[in-house]
Structure 1
Amino acid sequence: MSTSPLVRSTPAGTAPSDTAPAATTHRRFKWGIYGVRFAILAGFLLAWEAASGRIIDDFFVSRPSEIWQAWWEWLSDGALWYNASSTLRSATFGFVAGSLAVIVVGYVLEVSPRLAEILEPFITAIYTLPKIATVPLFAMWLGIGRPLQVAICGLVVFFQMFYNTYYGVKDVPRELFDAVKIIGGSRWDVATKVWLPSAPVWVIAGLKLSVPQAFASLSPPRSSPPTAASVTWWPRAPANSTPLAPSPPSSPS
């Protein structure tokens, strides 16, 4: 009479024993990636510090040690936080405005295919314009200050996210739209139960490109001081701090 070998079963809800080594290997791999990145950054900074003043004139490339000293001074007197908070506030307003515009315009073009065909060439033409070239135009319309920063940032975010969102939502199966209409759903039901839940997925997918571009777009408008019209948008500078943006020229006496 033969007996079957005993098989040790894994309790329900318990991971197999080989998952622990795999998790450890993955963790070591991630820490290895971080270590390589840190080594590259440290090597670059050391090479920069060594080459500055010896191989390359430090007037053109400065030194990491001098940059760190300037950063520490800005941190000490509050100037860095003052300017960083202003940039962060402008980027937040512009990002929210651009994202909302993407959702609204994307929905209008989705429900109106004929309007989309009419406007798409114009949207593409505006998209191809260098956004830095629009700064003087917006400066004449809005003045120099927070409104200018928000407008430029919102414009950049809109075009970074528009096509990703618009064509992403167009790929949503049409059966979902038809199913809502068959059961008597209105346009509002289609918008709130199909289109709107699908849009944030593609909006979030565009964050990787739009967030860095939102901050980069603030460099030209942020380099100018605020005007009296935008003083309510501008945070107050802490005591004994020096704004990093250039001071406005004094009026001739």
Structure 2
Amino acid sequence: MDAIKQARKYQFKLRIWQFGLLFAVFFFWHVATKPGLIPAIVFDNEEQAAFFFGEPLVIFSRIWDWFVVNADIYTHLWTTLIETVLAFTIGTVTGGAVGMWLALSPFAAAVADPFIKGLNSMPRVILAPIFAVWFGLGVASKVALGVTLVFFIVFFNVYQGVREVNPTILSSARMLGADKRQLLKFVYLPSAMSWVFSSLHTSVGMAFVGAVVGEYLGSSEGVGYLILQAEGVFDINTVMAGILVLTLFALILDWIVGEVEERAMRWQPRAGTGTTLKGGF
């Protein structure tokens, strides 16, 4: 009971410091960009700081208009969400399947090795214009770009996770008569799961990047499209508002992945303990 109280107290203290730091950042931003509050130091006049970095109060007002007054951002958010979820799902499934297959097939892995390395070393963002030509300016081109970003993250983690299976556990399972399907279900998949979930936080971010970059390069909907339109008229406040919305959106997606991980990995021992499992089982 004392441990629970201490944990809650620590979490409360942690949140206070986090919100305090966030407030300090926005306060400094406001003071540095509000004309007349401090003398112009870096720029020639006091208006230039606001032009280049935006004003927090104006930015928050723009976000309020998007969500409450005009309520015109939801269509764009939905488009970006669909692109992100599709890219994340397809990239995770295909990356995991290929990673599992090559990890269990040494000869196939040796054949594919130079091709995998070559594709992984390629800056995949440059594929965005090609995907736009192939799939058009709709959702498909953004999903394709996101898949290329997610695939290799999951692939390498699954591949490494399967290769890192404890030889003693593997030998014991074989001695007990486990066939290939049972080895896959009870040995290889559990070993790969922790590696997969460790990569999902990065993967969802990359899927998000793929969607936004694709929208930025060519689209008619999405938060990236809103930012592009604002940038075209040098509206830094709208650009910053879009960036803040995207940041919050990404944090929510990352939190969802964390919750799924917490529930899916309840069987895994907590760090520093040998017997206590997540969830108290």
TM over 0.5: yes
Match for residue 57 of structure 2 among 65, 83, 97:
65
Match for residue 226 of structure 2 among 223, 231, 244:
244
1:131 — aligned with what?
Answer: 124
Match for residue 24 of structure 2 among 24, 36, 43:
43
1:26 aligns with 2:7: yes
CA distance in 1 between counterparts of 2:183 and 2:7 reads: 43
Give the deviation of 1:147 after TM superposition. 0.6
Deviations 1:2-43 (A, max 9, x none): xxxxxxxxxxxxxxxxx52x4333322221111111111101
CA distance in 2 between counterparts of 1:25 and 1:177 reads: 40
TM-score w.r.t. the length of structure 2 is 0.68
User: Highest relative contact order (Cα 8 Å, sep 6+), 1 or 2?
Assistant: 1
Match for residue 195 of structure 2 among 199, 202, 205:
202
TM-score w.r.t. the length of structure 1 is 0.75
CA distance in 1 between counterparts of 2:111 and 2:163 reads: 17
Give the deviation of 1:186 after TM superposition. 4.3
Q: Structure 1: any 5+ residue segments left out of the alignment?
A: 1-18, 227-233, 236-242, 248-253
> Structure 1 or 2: larger helix share?
2
Task: Give runs of ≥4 in structure 1 deviating > 6 Å.
Answer: none
What secondary structure, in the 3-state scheme, does the structure 2 residue paired with 1:109 have? helix
What secondary structure, in the 3-state scheme, does the structure 2 residue paired with 1:225 have? coil
User: Does structure 2 retain, via aligned residues, the 8 Å contact 1:222–1:245?
Assistant: no
Cα distance change, pair 184–30 in 1 and its aligned pair in 2 (3 A)? closer
What secondary structure, in the 3-state scheme, does the structure 1 residue paired with 2:73 have? helix
Alignment RMSD (CA, Å): 2.4
1:160 aligns with 2:160: no
2:134 — aligned with what?
Answer: 141
CA distance in 2 between counterparts of 1:57 and 1:65 reads: 14
Cα distance change, pair 50–98 in 1 and its aligned pair in 2 (3 A)? same
CA distance in 2 between counterparts of 1:111 and 1:26 reads: 42
What letter is aligned with 1:112? S
User: Does structure 2 retain, via aligned residues, the 8 Å contact 1:102–1:158?
Assistant: yes
What letter is aligned with 2:26? L
The alignment covers a number of residue pairs equal to 214
1:214 aligns with 2:196: no
Larger radius of gyration: 1
Match for residue 79 of structure 2 among 86, 89, 98:
86
1:74 — aligned with what?
Answer: 66
Q: Structure 2: any 5+ residue segments left out of the alignment?
A: 41-47, 230-281
Give percent identity, aligned residues only.
27
Match for residue 99 of structure 2 among 93, 102, 106:
106
